[in-house]
Homo-oligomer: A and B are copies of this chain.
Amino acid sequence: MISEAAPVTLAALQAGILPRLTGVREEIRRLIEADFPLIAQVNSHLTQMQGKMLRPTLLLLSEGATAGRPDPRSVSLAAVVELIHLATLVHDDAVDHSVLRRGMPTINALFSHQIAVIMGDYLYSRAVIELVRQADLEALQILSRVTNEMTIGEMRQLLAHDPLKFSEEDYDLLVRAKTATLISGACEVGALSASPTERDAMRRFGECAGIAFQIVDDVLDFTGVEADTGKPAGLDLREHKVTLPLIYALPRMSPAQRIQVADLMDDPEPSDAAIAQVVEAVAERGGLEYARTRAQQLCAQAEAALDELHPSPARETLRASLTYVLERRR
């Protein structure tokens, strides 16, 4: 039972692949390198804004759980996947006018909105160049489809601002397109040299784990502490983003609570007190519990997909990664 397992840290998941993850970081630096001073400056900020490297980790574990031996090209593919993720973050922050990411200023905040738009394009085209250099049409096929789906997810995000019109089904489509597709793509790319059954199992594993990951992210936005998450609590509500806890809780709220939600959504700059009220109402009406249960169900589905693989240490680490997804605090 995943939900009862002991907390798992990301460091524990990455312990067996540390040298390869170092390789991924070096490869990312190589891929984004530029002569042009302004780009070099942005790059240096981006590499300091070191992420969790979740997608490269899953790609390499997926390879470990399905292939005979590690392929050196997987390190490059893992770097490309992280690069696509980075490009998406840079554009998402520009679109959302976010000022903080992982506790550091975003590119649009530190440089400018214009530079963020151009840098996203720069990073993404570098990722494509590397895939072409590797002549890896299968990876290109998966990752170009994934990138396109993510743009559709971003469009869905723009419309996710009216809690009365945004259903759980809409949320599901949004989360699949925005988050699960790249995590699933990373897992599938890691399994490219495996059998079709294993490849499909890893794709499904990534899809379910990816949705669960985003749901937990959205729960953490309600419950998280800024020191942990690197962003203020209730940020989604502040930005009028409707997520699963609110979708579930809203029809179960008292009339007074619903008015609080409507007022918050109408207020361009809601107060901390207004946000705290809605956070409390969502918790009281079972929104957080419901979202956590959904995430657990999805992780159980992801775990079932792992049964298609032969037993291996990497498979067990992938299993443990589901506990990490559910239990993480940031």
**Interface residue ranges, A against B (CB under 8 Å):** 34, 36, 38-39, 91, 94-95, 113-115, 117-122, 124-126, 128-129, 132-133, 135, 137, 140-141, 144-145, 147-148, 150-152, 154-156, 158-159
Contacts and interface: CB of A to CB of B under 8 A. Distances in A.
A97 to B, nearest CB: 9
The 5 closest A-B pairs by CB, nearest first: A125-B148, A122-B151, A128-B144, A125-B147, A95-B114
Nearest to A141: B132
A118 B39 contact: no
A154 B94 contact: no
A32 to B, nearest CB: 10
Nearest to A34: B152
A114 B155 CA distance: 9
Nearest to A95: B114
A241 to B, nearest CB: 13
Contact of A121 (B113, B128, B132, B151): B151
Given A38-B159, A114-B158, A118-B151, 6 more contacts: A39-B152, A39-B155, A115-B155, A121-B150, A132-B137, A132-B141
Contacts of A39: 152, 155
Contact of A135 (B94, B122, B137, B155): B137
Contacts of A113: 113
Contacts of A94: 117
A117 to B, nearest CB: 5
Contacts of A36: 152, 155-156
Given A95-B118, A121-B91, A125-B148, A38 B132 contact: no
A117 B118 contact: no
A230 B151 CA distance: 30
A173 B185 CA distance: 37
A1 B267 CA distance: 66
A148 B132 contact: no
B137 A151 contact: no
Contacts of A114: 95, 158
25 contacts: A36-B156, A39-B152, A91-B118, A91-B121, A94-B117, A113-B113, A114-B158, A115-B158, A117-B120, A118-B154, A121-B121, A121-B124, A121-B147, A121-B151, A122-B148, A124-B124, A125-B148, A125-B151, A128-B128, A128-B140, A128-B144, A129-B144, A132-B137, A132-B140, A133-B141
A89 to B, nearest CB: 13
Interface core residue of A94, A118, A137, A154 (most chain B CB under 10 Å): A118
B128 A147 contact: yes
